[in-house]
Amino acid sequence: MNGYELIFFADSGASGDMLVASLVDLLDNAEEFSGFLNSLKLKADFKIQKNLKKHLQATQLLVEVNENPELEHFSQLKDYIAKLPVSEKIKDYSWQIINRIFQAEAKVHNLPPEHVHLHEIAADDTIIDIVGFCWLWEKLNFAEIYFSPPVCGTGYVQTAHGRLPLPAPATLELLSGFSFVSSSIKEELLTPTGAAILTTLGKPLPPEKEILLLKSGYGAGAKELSEIPNILRAILAKKISPPEELILLQAQYDDLTGEKAAFLAESLRWSGAVEVFWQPIQMKKNRPGLLLNVLVAKEKENEIIELIFRESPTLGIRRSVQQRWILDRQQEELIHNGFKIRFKKAFLNNQQVNLKIDFECIMEYAKREKISIKEAEQKLWSIINAGL
């Protein structure tokens, strides 16, 4: 449904606080976000401020945590997330990120996740980073996330386990399957929290991707880097959707019965055809005939061609490439007096332009209430309009 994209340029790496700060800067909602953080009732003090990094203004999130954090273990964090006064989507995404951090730490330390003690990253500041990020992301209707290959520093970082090489082992594990850039800067540029957020919720930014920029935000990191500005850029872009490319297969018949035509169409749909429809045509010797039209994805083309030849008397199939534009769609349900009303919304440029009730649902309701189809449809529309 969402017609927007959220793109992060991690030229100076990424940390949880930088990701959060970049979204606060983009949304310009520092006061509202501060109110949300206060509602979490964590044992941490925070401050949101503007800061200059190499003469570039950015928003910075500063968090001062309790020296003895209570939330460091798998079960503690799971219980805490489950009880948060936020939407289920925020809880789900937050736990996905935290769980991946635990899995990464468990693997590098050869421990079960339940026995992992997250010294560096499970204090209240990381809760602020992860839950805060997901809360801000919800403000953008969970726009699809892309990120550039994050830059990682080199050298060593001091941890509770001693000096560890950079990228830190857990960070490296979280980057498995993703590209990153190695820098000569001797600082930890990409943190486990930053890596977890990006690689859990986002996907790599495609090369030469066309971007229709709407707004940008800058998040400042805590460190002062001599070589580059320590900032992370967030871009809100309008999604540019190219037309979908499909293959149109056509075959003509003057010797196909209605029963066999119905069976063929159903078989094609079951085999993955996108659309199947018939058209009446005039054939040689003035015979009435049928034109079979099958829209299919390129990867399914050969399978569908074989099915048409096997299940019908045609001796040839025509092929052409078609393009189609489709609206974003969202399936929804509404429960009324124990009856589940199913309907579909369609969106253009993130604005709803259509709403359609599932016809099977209308029939079920008409049978249940013992009324006509027209009455059932009118009543369901009234229920939906009252409930939305």
364 and 379 both lie in a single domain: yes
Q: What is the CATH number of the domain that holds 310?
A: 3.30.70.1380
Token pair, residue 8, equals 């992060």
| Same domain for 287 and 221 | no
User: What pLDDT, on a 0 to 100 scale, did the predictor assign at position 1?
Assistant: 42
In order along its 388 residues, the chain shows pLDDT tens digits of 467 899 999 999 999 999 999 999 999 999 999 999 999 888 788 899 999 898 899 999 998 876 655 666 777 888 889 999 899 999 999 999 999 998 998 888 787 777 666 655 556 788 899 999 999 999 999 999 999 999 998 888 777 667 888 888 999 999 999 999 999 898 999 999 999 999 999 999 998 888 989 999 999 998 899 889 999 999 999 887 778 899 999 999 999 999 999 999 999 999 999 999 999 999 998 999 999 999 999 999 999 999 999 999 999 999 999 999 888 888 888 999 999 999 999 988 778 899 999 999 999 999 999 999 999 999 999 999 987 6
Q: 94's torsion region: left (phi>0), alpha (psi -120 to 50) or beta?
A: alpha
Same domain, 115 and 167: yes
* Domain match, 56 and 205 both: yes
Q: Which pTM was predicted? A: 0.68
Count Cβ atoms within 10 A of the Cβ of residue 24 and give its class: 0-12 exposed, 13-18 middle, 19 or more buried: buried
- The DSSP 8-state label assigned to residue 164 in this structure reads E
Does residue 345 contact residue 279 with C-beta atoms inside 8 Å? no
Q: Which amino acid is at 208?
A: E
Residues 373 and 271 occupy one common structural domain = no
Domain boundary among 178, 205, 238: 238
Q: Is the dihedral of CA 118, 121, 123, 126 positive or negative?
A: negative
Which of helix, strand or coil describes residue 375? helix
Domain of residue 297 covers 244-324
Q: What is the DSSP string of 97-162?
A: HHHHHHHHHHHHHT--GGG-B-TTT-SHHHHHHHHHHHHHHHHTTTPEEEEPPPEE--SEEEETTE
Question: Are 277 and 315 found together in one domain?
Answer: yes
For residues 55 and 149, membership in a common domain is answered with yes
Q: How many domains does the chain have?
A: 3
On whether both 267 and 145 belong to a single domain, the answer is: no
Q: Which of 214, 238, 262 is the last residue in one of the domains?
A: 238
Q: What is the pLDDT of residues 322-336, one digit of tens each?
A: 999 888 888 888 999
Asked whether the CA dihedral 244, 249, 253, 259 is positive or negative, the reply is negative
229: tokens are 């500005």
293 and 365 in a single domain? The answer is no
CA angle, residues 146, 152, 153, in degrees to nearest 5: 160
Are residues 228 and 249 both part of a single domain? no
> Going by C-beta distance under 8 Å and a sequence separation of 6 or more, which residues neighbour residue 128?
16, 17, 20, 37, 40, 42, 44, 46, 61, 63
- Rounded Cα gap, residues 356 and 366, in angstroms: 17
d(CA 371, CA 386) in angstroms, rounded, equals: 21
Query: Token pair 């078609």 is at which residue?
Result: 322
Do 40 and 142 sit in the same domain of this protein?
yes
The label of the residue with tokens 């059932």 reads 376
* Token representation of residue 319: 């092929």
Last residue of a domain, one of 216, 238, 260: 238
97 and 63 within one domain: yes
How confident is the model over 200-231, as pLDDT tens digits? 999 999 988 889 899 999 999 988 998 899 99
